[in-house]
Amino acid sequence: MAESSKNNSESSISDKIYKVRKWGLIPSLKWYYYVHYKIGSLQKIRKTANFPLNMMMEVTNHCNLKCIMCPREIMTRKEGVMDLELFKKVIDDTTKFKKPYLLTLHFSGEPLINKKLPEMIRYAKDKGVPIVKFNSNAMLLDEKMSEQILGSGLDILTIAIESTKDIHDKFRVGSDFEQVTRNVQNIVEMKKKKGLKKPSIRVQMLTSKDTDEKDIQAGIDLWEPIVDYVKIESISTAGGQIEDFGSTRSQKKLCKEIWTNMVILWNGDVTVCCVDHNAALKVGNVNESSIEEIWNGEKYQRLRDLHRKGDLDKIPLCDSCLNANHG
């Protein structure tokens, strides 16, 4: 399919989506996904990685937008910004234990609201974390912030933008399509002028019942010549927690996250996956315990055991996530 799409200028939209997806991964990230997949798919053994392969740190859960499809809409947690000292403590603790392969610096909020973000990225990179990345709505990506991000050592910057202005305006309430476009073009230009290889600058668009192939194609046509990678994702219901805006995701059979991922919220609370926006599955707090203690702790292991046994009715969030039609 990839070959025919390469040779056929009339190739279909799904071929094109496949192509941008396929060639967008950087080699080391392919390795990460392979390991992640293997660990998560060992159905009979269900072994836990001996360290979190993917650590997500919520540098803030404040946001400057009110996107209608965002799981943040159901978040009832207190809002705040992660302290630089807490961030450093976690990185020191983790890199001493074993490095997470992938460090993601967004969760329920807009990372650029935390003005210490560039310093945090630099710290994690200096401590040897292989891949540091985050997603942003890019409204705060002005000249000064772009300069700092480009100098931080970041590996991947993904800008969330919808495929056309109309769709963007409908979903991304409070955003300005033209402003986001200018900010992305500007940081790409600045990166080019500086002769930098990193970060890989990407654009991510969502498919929903409001998008058709023409819209997605318009988005690809706009962004493919400018950025390093165009990613197209189906809108989700965050495991059945929010309204279905037209998800085309297939139902999950098994959870991989609980064996490979850890999410650290701005106040140090730890949960097990990126669907848990209200920390219903809190397994500890990094102010009180080390990453190693939490990762191998009783609460995490109990959740893994329940998954092994298939006793999901004892974990309503996981039950809804794995049984929702649209994950």
Ligand X SMILES: C[S@@+](CC[C@H](N)C(=O)[O-])C[C@H]1O[C@@H](n2cnc3c(N)ncnc32)[C@H](O)[C@@H]1O
Q: Is 228 in the site for ligand SF4 (CB under 6 A)?
A: no
Stretch that binds ligand SF4, among 32-40, 62-70, 234-242, 302-310 (CB under 6 A): 62-70
Among 25, 26, 35, 65, binds ligand SF4 (CB under 6 A): 65
Strand 284-285 and strand 269-271: pairing?
A: antiparallel
User: 187 and 146 in contact (C-beta within 8 Å)?
Assistant: yes
Distances (CA, A) of 214 to 164, 169, 197, 207: 10, 17, 32, 11
CB-nearer residue toward ligand X: 46 or 249: 249
Among 54, 104, 137, 152, binds ligand SF4 (CB under 6 A): 137
Q: Is 241 in the site for ligand X (CB under 6 A)?
A: no
Q: Is 67 in the site for ligand SF4 (CB under 6 A)?
A: yes
Q: Is 211 in the site for ligand X (CB under 6 A)?
A: no
| CA pair distance 289, 201, nearest whole angstrom | 35
Among 70, 149, 159, 201, binds ligand SF4 (CB under 6 A): 70
Among 40, 109, 118, 327, binds ligand SF4 (CB under 6 A): 109
252, 258, 264, 267: CA torsion to nearest 10? 90
Q: Is 219 in the site for ligand SF4 (CB under 6 A)?
A: no
Q: Please, which of residues 148-207 interact with ligand SF4 by CB under 6 A?
A: none
| CA pair distance 204, 172, nearest whole angstrom | 13
Among 58, 110, 210, 276, binds ligand SF4 (CB under 6 A): 110
Opening angle at CA 177, ends 116 and 110, nearest 5: 25
Q: Is 70 in the site for ligand X (CB under 6 A)?
A: yes
Partner from ligand X, ligand SF4, none binding residue 206, C-beta < 5-8 Å depending on class: ligand X
CB-nearer residue toward ligand SF4: 16 or 72: 72
Binding to ligand X by CB under 6 A, coded x per residue (else -) over 135-154, reads: xxx-----------------
Q: Is 227 in the site for ligand X (CB under 6 A)?
A: no
**Burial class (CB within 10 angstroms; exposed 0-12, middle 13-18, buried 19+) of 259:** buried
Q: Is 206 in the site for ligand X (CB under 6 A)?
A: yes
CB-nearer residue toward ligand X: 206 or 227: 206
- Least distance in angstroms from the C-beta of 171 to ligand SF4: 8
Sheet with 284-285, strands from edge to edge, namely 229-234, 200-207, 156-160, 131-136, 102-104, 54-57, 261-264, 269-271, 284-285
Q: Please, which of residues 107-126 interact with ligand X by CB under 6 A?
A: 110
215, 219, 224, 229: CA torsion to nearest 10? -110
Partner from ligand SF4, ligand X, none binding residue 181, C-beta < 5-8 Å depending on class: none
Closest C-alpha to 110, from 186, 169, 184, 172: 172
Opening angle at CA 32, ends 302 and 103, nearest 5: 70
Stretch that binds ligand X, among 25-33, 63-71, 124-132, 260-268 (CB under 6 A): 63-71
Backbone φ and ψ of 56, nearest 5°: -110, 130
* Residue 248: partners with Cβ closer than 8 Å, 6 or more residues away: 207, 234, 326
CB-nearer residue toward ligand X: 69 or 255: 69
Q: Is 270 in the site for ligand X (CB under 6 A)?
A: no
Q: Which amino acid is at 195?
A: G
User: 260 and 49 in contact (C-beta within 8 Å)?
Assistant: yes
Question: Which chain residues interact with ligand X by CB under 6 A?
Answer: 63, 67, 69-70, 106, 110, 135-137, 160, 204, 206, 233, 235-236
Question: Which chain residues interact with ligand SF4 by CB under 6 A?
Answer: 63, 65-67, 70, 72, 109-110, 137
